[in-house]
């Protein structure tokens, strides 16, 4: 996969190496944002996982040091969670933490998920991941293929392209706070300059919702977060249509209008 960075291209190998290098300081960096963990919990709860997740298998793709995994556990403490990331060092940090639930950490690339995990899953969460892959459609189709019919997908992601105000706020916070803090705390702000640029380059809200529908998801909805990240960080929800697990995976773009889903709670 390749993504544009600040003045240079960032390929999959260098991006993973950057996450490896920043793994030990990553939790301190994201912890400086008081809403970071709360917002992940919002998205996990919005999936509407029933019964505390008892008897369910959930997939956390791009789990990093485990913040999104913890959010899923908060929403579904009885579920079995498989957490996947391409960075071995980020996974090492996640494994050092105390986990009270049924959590398995697996190293794997989103572009080759079938080598890392075996479905089906009763829900998938992908936090701060989709903008980092070369082909988001291929990733979404892979998620679709790993879900049980009727199961939800949650994409927790930055999206500012539709709003000039959001782009301005994101740039001011990035260059006024995040990038200087990274330089001060870690000595290298390259990953966070990449973060700034990758957010500006990524889909707008409507484009991502359309992309999800094009890849076969139905009941696609989105909601933003409170605080300064309002209209900057969003929850995107969809689900694989009910049917048989042998249904052919849709390809290409469609124009189906989203309908209000059952079981998706967007108020919390």
* pLDDT for res 81: 97
Query: In angstroms, rounded to a whole number, what is the distance separating the alpha carbons of residues 41 and 86?
Result: 22
Cβ atoms 204, 161 nearer than 8 A: yes
Per-residue pLDDT of the chain (268 residues; tens, 9 = 90+): 333 333 344 444 588 888 888 888 887 888 888 899 999 999 999 999 999 999 999 999 999 999 999 999 999 999 999 999 999 999 999 999 999 889 999 999 888 888 889 989 999 999 999 999 989 999 999 999 999 999 999 999 999 999 999 999 999 999 999 999 988 888 888 888 999 999 999 999 999 999 999 999 999 999 999 999 999 999 999 999 998 555 544 433 233 333 333 334 333 3
* pLDDT for res 17: 85
Residues 6+ apart with CB under 8 A from 255: 213
Query: In angstroms, rounded to a whole number, what is the distance separating the alpha carbons of residues 165 and 232?
Result: 10
Query: In angstroms, rounded to a whole number, what is the distance separating the alpha carbons of residues 11 and 3?
Result: 6
Structure-block tokens of residue 145: 């293929």
* pLDDT for res 213: 97
| 152-158/233-239 β-pairing | antiparallel
Could you say which DSSP state residue 113 is in? G
Cβ atoms 90, 60 nearer than 8 A: no
| 152-158/124-127 β-pairing | parallel
* 120: preceding bond cis by omega (within 30 degrees): yes
Query: In angstroms, rounded to a whole number, what is the distance separating the alpha carbons of residues 136 and 61?
Result: 13
* pLDDT for res 64: 94
- Residue 90 phi/psi, 5-degree rounding, is -65, -40
Residues 6+ apart with CB under 8 A from 60: 68, 69, 72, 81, 82, 83, 84, 124, 125, 127
Nearest to 23 by CA among 126, 107, 110, 131: 107
Could you say which DSSP state residue 53 is in? G
* pLDDT for res 187: 83
């Amino acid at each position: 996969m390749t993504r544009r960075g600040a003045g240079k291209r960032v390929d999959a190998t260098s991006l993973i190496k950057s996450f490896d290098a920043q793994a030990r300081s990553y939790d301190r960096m994201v912890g400086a944002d008081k809403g970071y963990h709360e917002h992940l919990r919002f998205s996990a709860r919005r999936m509407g996982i029933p019964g505390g997740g008892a008897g369910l298998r959930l997939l956390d793709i791009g789990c990093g040091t485990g913040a999104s995994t913890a959010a899923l556990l908060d929403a579904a403490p009885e579920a079995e969670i498989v957490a996947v990331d391409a960075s071995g060092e980020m996974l090492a940090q996640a494994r050092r933490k105390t986990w009270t639930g049924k959590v398995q950490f697996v190293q794997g690339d989103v572009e080759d998920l079938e080598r890392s995990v075996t479905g089906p899953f009763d829900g998938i969460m992908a936090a701060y991941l989709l903008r980092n892959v070369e082909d988001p459609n291929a990733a979404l189709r892979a998620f679709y293929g790993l879900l049980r019919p009727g199961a939800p997908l949650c994409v927790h992601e930055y999206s500012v392209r539709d709003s000039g105000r959001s782009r301005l706020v994101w740039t001011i916070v990035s260059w006024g706070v995040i990038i200087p803090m990274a330089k001060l705390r870690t000595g290298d702000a390259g990953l966070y300059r990449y973060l700034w640029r990758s957010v500006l380059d990524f889909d707008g809200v409507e484009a991502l919702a359309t992309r999800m529908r094009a890849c076969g998801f139905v009941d696609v909805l989105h909601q933003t977060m409170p605080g300064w990240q309002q209209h900057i960080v969003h929850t995107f929800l969809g689900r694989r249509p009910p049917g048989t697990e042998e249904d052919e995976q849709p390809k290409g773009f469609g124009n189906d209008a989203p309908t209000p889903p059952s079981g998706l709670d967007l108020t919390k």
